[in-house]
Structure 1
């Protein structure tokens, strides 16, 4: 096929427990370095298989998308239904990209809920409880 591997850009990631992570691989007198984290197809792959880094990265990306759309979501002349469609089509896919492979803890699930509630508060505005005012 004529493909060649770029030795300067090639690194090794070990996914085994109890292994020396700093060990280098040498093939034909070419040494390949070791990395602990790599971004692959938009998702962060960690040698510890820690999803927290990936989820924090997804929340940060969705947050940038949210702030880019904040003027639109804050307009009074756009219906809440339209704002929800904007959220579901522009922000939520950025947040949940790759979520099929996540194994969540309660803390990570809470972080995702906090972000979603922030966006929904912007869309629906403040909600006043009638019972608390009495």
Structure 2
């Protein structure tokens, strides 16, 4: 096919938890370095296959996406239904890309929930507190 390996850009990453780690790999007198993590198709891959690193990376990507859409999601001139469609079609896929193979802990599940609540608070805006006759921050319940 005519494909060639770029020796300057190619690195090795072992996906195991062994203590004995080599600093390089040598094949045909070409030395390849070892890396501990890299981004692959938008997901973070690391040497010990840590799911928490991957979920933090996805939350950070979705947060950047959310930040770029903040003016639209916080604007009063767009219907809430439209804002929810924007959230479900733009932000949520960025957040949940590759989630089929995640094994979540309670802490990671909580982090995802915190992010989702942050976005939903922005979409639905403040709540009218009848008792205090003022606008207040929307809470989880």
How far apart are 1:59 and its partner, in Å?
1.1
Mapped partners of 1:107, 1:22: distance in 2: 33
Partner of 2:96: 96
Determine if contact 1:21/1:34 at 8 Å carries over to the other structure: no
Q: Which residue of 2 aligns with 1:25?
A: 25
**Aligned twin of 1:56:** 56
Aligned to 1:112, the other structure's residue is in SS state helix
In the alignment, the residues of structure 1 paired with residue 2 and residue 103 of structure 2 have an alpha-carbon distance, to the nearest angstrom, of 39
RMSD of Structure 2 on Structure 1 (CA): 1.8
Q: What is aligned with 2:79?
A: 79
- TM-score, normalised by the number of residues in structure 2: 0.85
Structure 2 spans left out of the alignment, 5+ residues: 133-141
Q: CA deviation at 1:101?
A: 1.6
Instruction: Normalising by structure 1, report the TM-score.
Output: 0.89
List structure 1 runs of 4+ shifted beyond 6 angstroms: none
User: Number of matched residues?
Assistant: 132
SS in 2 for 1:32: strand
Residue 16 of structure 1: how far off its partner (Å): 2.1
C-alpha deviation, 1:79, in angstroms: 1.2
Q: Take 1:50 and 1:129, find their aligned partners in 2: how far apart are those partners?
A: 43
Deviation at 1:19, TM superposition (A): 3.8
Unaligned 5+ runs, structure 1: none
Deviation at 1:129, TM superposition (A): 7.2
